[in-house]
Chain A
C-alpha cells in the first residue's frame, strides 16, 4: 500500500534528511513536511507547509491530506540552541498537539515515529554501564531537556495505550556525530580546547548521523513499533575521543565545575550544558540488542563514528568551507512539483 508520510521539522536537520531518504522509497506516495522555516536541503517531491512549532493546524492537515504515517523528528535535544520556554513549546506542546491530531476520531494515521534521545536515561554513578529500554534512570532528571523529553515520552506512551491500533515507535538515539550535524559535543570537539571534568574519563557511545536516518527509515518502512535504543557498538573514553579529534582537554575541576566553566561558556570558548557536564563525568551506554533483533544494525560503531567525524573535521579545518546549504525558492519548488510543463516520473 502506498504510504502518505508527514514529517515534522522539515527545516531542521533530521526532518530534511528523513524527507530525502523517503523520497527514494517507491512505497511512499506522498511526503509532506512541516516547518517554521524553509527547508535547507534539496528535495525532489516532498511538499512543504509552513506551520508554527506547536502544530496548532495539524489536525486540519491530517484530515485534509489523509497521511497514514507521522515521523516526528522535530524534538529539541540540544539545550544550547533554544531557550527553556521555546524548548517546552516545541517538545512538549508540539508533541501533545501532534498526538492529539493523530488520535482524533476517524484519524487516518496508522503509525507514529518519534525520535527521542538517550538523554532520558540521564548519567549518574549509580547507572548500569548499559541501559536496556526498560531500565529506568537511577537519578532524578534535573536538566530542562531531560525533563522535557521524559514528558514527551510520557505523552507518547499514553497515546500508544489509547490507540492500540496505531503502530507507535519511539527511538532513543545516543549522541550523534557526523559530517554535518552540529551538537554541543561536535562543536566542542571542533575547537582547540574541549572541556573535560578532571578526575573523570567517561565512556561515551555515539551514533553516526547517516545511521540515525537509516534507522528512522527502517522503522517507518517496515512499520516496526516499540521502544528502541539506537547507538553504535562499543564505547570510547572521552580522553580518546578528544585525542582522536586533536583537541586539547581543558581541565575543569571536579568540584565547582559549573562556576569555573560559566565564564568560559560566556566567552564562547566551550559549550557545557548541564546534561553534557554529567555526561562528561559518568558517561552513558545503551544496550542495542532489541533494535538489532528488529533487523537493523548501525553501519558504524562508536569508534568508526568518531573516525568519520574527525575526517570531516580535518577537511573543514583545511578548506574552511561551510557545508553546502540549499536555497529554497518557493516558486521554483512549486513549479517543479505542480506545473504541467515539468515532466515527473509517474508516482
Chain B
C-alpha cells in the first residue's frame, strides 16, 4: 500500500506552503500587510467563491450534474484526480472542481496546458480560479508537500479536440506521467468518469491551419456554432452531466524515487485508462437520454 500524506488541520481552503517531515515546523509565511488571498499557485479563494456563485446555476440547472461515489474522495491528504476530457470547451473541468469544492469543501487545483498561462487575461483568471500549468514539479509539490487535490486530464488536448464520431473513446493517456507523479508523491490516483461532456459541445471538424496560425492547440467547428450562431462559441448544450468516482488506485512502490520502471508506469496508466473506458461504456449503457440522463 502506498502511504498517503496526512496532515492535520488541512481544513483551510487556501493552503499555505508546507513541507513534510522536519520542515513542517518552519513557520508559515506571515500574512503581514497582505491585501489579497492569492496563494502561491495564484488561486484566490475569494475569486473562487465568486466563480462558484456564478457557476452554481449552470452546474445545478443547466448541466444538472449528478455525482456517484463522491465519498471515495479523501477528506484529507493529497490525491490525483484523473478524468476523461471532452467537448470543444470542456465542461468537465469546472464541473469536477465546483462539485468537489461544494460537496466536500476541499479546493481542487485543475492542471492544464500552459497555453492558458500565456494568454493575457484568460491566464490570470484561470490561475485565480484554481488553474495551474501541468508541470510535473507543480503536481509533486501540490500532492506530496501540500497534500492537496490535483485534477489532471491525461488525454491532454487530444481529448477535447476529438471529433463527435470518436466520442467516449479515450485517447492515449500521455506518457503515463500522471502515474509516475502519483508514485513519487505516494498518493492515490482517483479516476472520475464523466458522461455528457462529449455532447455538450461536439466538435464536427477542426481547422488545423487556423489553429497553427493562431498558435492554439486546436480550433474546432462545433455543433453549437451551427445551432446557436456566434453564441455557440461559449454556450454548451444543456446535456445531463453524470460523474462517477472510481475506486482509488494505489501503487505498492516506494515513494520519492526519481524514476520508476517505465513498463510498470505504462502498465498502470493503461489499466487506469481501461477501467475508465469500461466505466464510461457502463454509464452509457445506463443512459436513456443525452439531455435527461
Chain B, Cβ-Cβ closest to A253: B120
Cα(A243)–Cα(B15), bound, Å:
23
Contact of A128 among B120, B124, B137 (CB under 8 A): B137
B26 touches A297 (CB 8 A): yes
Complex CA distance for A126 and B113, rounded to whole angstroms: 9
For residue B71, CB closer than 8 A to chain A, the reply is: no
Q: Given B26, B119, B132, which contacts A129 in the complex, CB threshold below 8 Å? A: B132
> B1: CB under 8 A from chain A?
no
Q: Is the interface of B mostly helix, strand, loop or mixed?
A: loop
Q: Smallest CB–CB gap between A306 and chain B, Å?
A: 7
CA–CA, A236 and B115, complex, Å: 22
Q: Is the CB of B19 within 8 A of A234?
A: no
Q: Given A233-B29, A240-B36, A304-B32: A125 and B114 within 8 A (CB)? A: yes
Residues of B within 8 A of A303 (CB): 29-34
* 189-227 of chain A: CB within 8 A of chain B: 197-201, 203
Give the contacting residue for B40; candidates A129, A200, A304; CB below 8 A: A129
Q: Which of B110-127 contact A (CB under 8 A)?
A: 114-115, 117-124
- Are A128 and B32 within 8 A (Cβ)? no
Tell me what chain A mostly uses at the interface: helix, strand, loop, or mixed: loop
A126 to B133, CA, bound (A): 8
Given known contacts A128-B138, A129-B138, A310-B33, A289 and B23 CB-to-CB distance under 8 angstroms: yes
When chains A and B are docked, how far (Å) is the Cα of A201 from the Cα of B29?
Answer: 21
Chain B residue numbers with a CB within 8 Å of A135 are 137
Are the C-beta atoms of A130 and B23 separated by less than 8 Å?
Answer: no
Q: How far is the CA of A310 from the CA of B32 in the complex (A)?
A: 12
Nearest CB of chain A from residue B24's CB, rounded to whole Å: 12
0 or 1 for each of B7-33: is its CB under 8 Å from A? (1 = yes): 000000000110100010010011111
Closest Cβ neighbor of B31 among chain A residues: A303
Q: Count residues on chain A whose CB falls below 8 Å from chain B CBs.
A: 38
Partner of A233, one of B17, B33, B41: B17
Residue pair A125, B17 in contact (C-beta under 8 Å): no
Would you call B133 and A129 a contact (CB within 8 A)? Answer: yes
A126 partner residues in chain B, CB cutoff 8 A: 114, 133, 135
B167 at the interface (CB under 8 A from A): no
B42 with A237: CB separation less than 8 A = yes
As a 0/1 sequence over residues 130 to 173 of chain B, the CB contacts with chain A under 8 angstroms (1 = contact) are 00110111100100000000000000000000000000000000
| In the complex, chain B residues whose CB is within 8 Å of the CB of A198 | 120-121
8 Å CB contact of B29 from A199, A234, A254: A234
Q: Find out whether the CB atom of A199 lies under 8 angstroms from the CB atom of B132.
A: no
A132 CB-CB contact with B under 8 Å? yes
Interface membership of chain A positions 118-155, coded 1 if the CB is closer than 8 angstroms to chain B and 0 otherwise = 00000001111110100100000000000000000000
CB under 8 Å from chain B, chain A span 246-263: 254
- Return the contact of A237 from the options B30, B31, B36, B137 (Cβ within 8 A): B36
CB-CB under 8 A from A199, the residues of chain B are 119-124
Asked if A65 is at the interface of the complex by the 8 Å CB criterion, the answer is no
Evaluate contact between A236 and B30: CB separation under 8 angstroms.
Answer: no
Which residue on B lies nearest to A254, using beta carbons? Answer: B120
Cβ-based interface call for B227 (8 A): no
- Which B residues are CB-close (under 8 A) to A234? 16-17, 29, 40
Contact with B38, one of A125, A197, A203 (Cβ below 8 angstroms): A203
B29 lies within 8 A of A307 (CB) = no
B35 lies within 8 A of chain A by Cβ: yes
Residues of A within 8 A of B33 (CB): 244, 303-304, 306-307, 310
Looking at A127, A237, A302, which has the most chain B CB atoms within 10 Å of its CB?
A: A237
Q: Is there a chain B Cβ closer than 8 Å to A312's Cβ?
A: no
Q: Fill in one digit per residue for B161-205: 1 if any A CB lies within 8 Å of its CB, else 0.
A: 000000000000000000000000000000000000000000000
In whole Å, how far is B34's beta carbon from the nearest beta carbon of chain A?
5
Q: How far is the CA of A164 from the CA of B132 in the complex (A)?
A: 41
**Binary contact readout B214-233 vs A (1 if CB under 8 angstroms, 0 otherwise):** 00000000000000000000
The answer to whether B137 touches A130 (Cβ under 8 A) is yes
A292 at the interface (CB under 8 A from B): yes
Q: Which residue of B lies closest to A199 (CB)?
A: B120
Which interface residue of B17, B33, B119 has the most chain A CB atoms within 10 A?
Answer: B33
Determine whether the beta carbon of B40 is less than 8 Å from that of A285: yes
What separation, in Å, do the CA atoms of A302 and B33 have in the docked complex? 11
Smallest CB-CB separation from B42: which chain A residue?
A203
CA distance A82 to B141 in the complex (A): 38
A79 to chain B, nearest CB (A): 24
List 12 additional contacts besides A126-B135, A128-B137; criterion CB under 8 Å: A129-B41, A129-B42, A129-B133, A132-B137, A200-B120, A203-B38, A232-B29, A240-B36, A244-B33, A303-B33, A303-B34, A304-B30
Supply 8 A–B pairs (Cβ within 8 Å), ascending by A.
A125-B114, A125-B115, A199-B119, A203-B42, A240-B36, A303-B31, A304-B33, A306-B33
